[in-house]
């Protein structure tokens, strides 16, 4: 699995967009980019994933660069409840992969009033 | 989606004893995993719980210390054996229902060893 690099912490004003970057320069062609978050004292929660096209769901948008070496998770209107640790994971869900996740240190997002 | 129930949610144990953590899922799942989260740290995969066979352990984790059972497609247990204060962590169960689908996590078991 490709290694990912994220900034350790970020701040965002409530109501503004939060843009969380992730570098995955060694990602291989069959590896997806997954984002999870962990709110204090809870288990991680899935947010979104993508391979090479931009993706959007009710929680967030995922922008993947054309060379797939980096991506950005966008929370369009951050609220205080979005304060959490955000994990970017490169993972391949194909033949031979069991779905296990290798977590890095993630980015602690602090949303401020 | 999948709803995961972990028991107990927290416990305080004496060193040298063992604790068994249960993970119950509300539907059949393909894969089940156990993770450890030490204080202030990220999650580390302990093992993959295989139905009807021995679990697959990650480097640094052994069966004698963390025996795992998975008798069916909805249930698994993790035992933390011969505990020491260094085992104080949050232990989390995770499941995946199919290929290219997301993982779901339980709320975790917060273990303190004194």
Length of chain B: 114
Q: Which residue is closest to B48 within chain A, CA to CA?
A: A100
Under the banding of pLDDT at 50, 70 and 90, the label for residue A95 is very low
Mean pLDDT for all residues in chain B: 94
E strand map for B73-114: 75-80, 89-96, 103-105, 109-113
Q: Is the CB of residue A92 less than 8 Å from the CB of residue A3? A: no
Mean pLDDT for all residues in chain A: 91
pLDDT of residue A92: 60
- Residue numbers in B near A105 (CB within 8 A): 42
pLDDT digits (tens, 9 = 90+) for A27-62: 888 888 999 999 998 999 999 999 998 999 999 999
* Contact across the interface for A43 and B105, Cβ inside 8 Å: yes
pLDDT digits (tens, 9 = 90+) for B55-98: 999 999 999 999 999 999 999 999 999 999 999 999 999 998 87
User: Mutation test of the interface with chain A: which of B5, B6, B9, B42, choosing the one with the most A Cβ atoms within 10 A?
Assistant: B42
pLDDT of residue A90: 87
Length of chain A: 113
* Contact across the interface for A100 and B105, Cβ inside 8 Å: no
Under the banding of pLDDT at 50, 70 and 90, the label for residue B100 is low
Residue A93 confidence (pLDDT) above 80:
no
Note whether A96 contacts B: Cβ–Cβ < 8 A: no
pLDDT of residue A98: 61
Residue B52 confidence (pLDDT) above 90:
no
Q: What is the mean pLDDT of residues A5-29?
A: 95
């Amino acid at each position: 699995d490709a290694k990912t690099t994220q900034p350790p912490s970020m701040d965002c004003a409530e109501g503004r967009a939060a843009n969380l970057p992730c570098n995955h320069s060694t990602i291989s062609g069959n590896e997806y980019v997954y984002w999870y978050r962990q709110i204090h004292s809870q288990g991680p929660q899935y947010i979104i994933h993508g391979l090479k096209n931009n993706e959007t769901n009710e929680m967030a948008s995922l922008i993947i660069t054309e060379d797939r070496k980096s991506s950005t998770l966008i929370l369009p209107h951050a609220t205080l409840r979005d304060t959490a640790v955000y994990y970017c994971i490169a993972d391949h869900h194909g033949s031979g992969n069991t779905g296990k996740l290798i977590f890095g240190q993630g980015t602690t997002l602090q949303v401020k009033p | 989606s999948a709803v995961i129930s972990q028991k107990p949610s927290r416990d305080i144990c004496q060193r040298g004893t063992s604790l068994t953590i249960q993970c119950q899922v509300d539907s059949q799942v393909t894969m089940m995993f156990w993770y450890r989260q030490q204080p202030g740290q990220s999650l580390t995969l302990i093992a993959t719980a295989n139905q009807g066979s021995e679990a697959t352990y990650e480097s640094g984790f052994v069966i004698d210390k963390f025996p795992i059972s998975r008798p069916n497609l909805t249930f698994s247990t993790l035992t933390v054996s011969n505990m020491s204060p260094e085992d104080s962590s949050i232990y989390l169960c995770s499941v995946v229902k199919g290929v290219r689908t997301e993982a779901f996590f339980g709320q975790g078991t917060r273990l303190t060893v004194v």
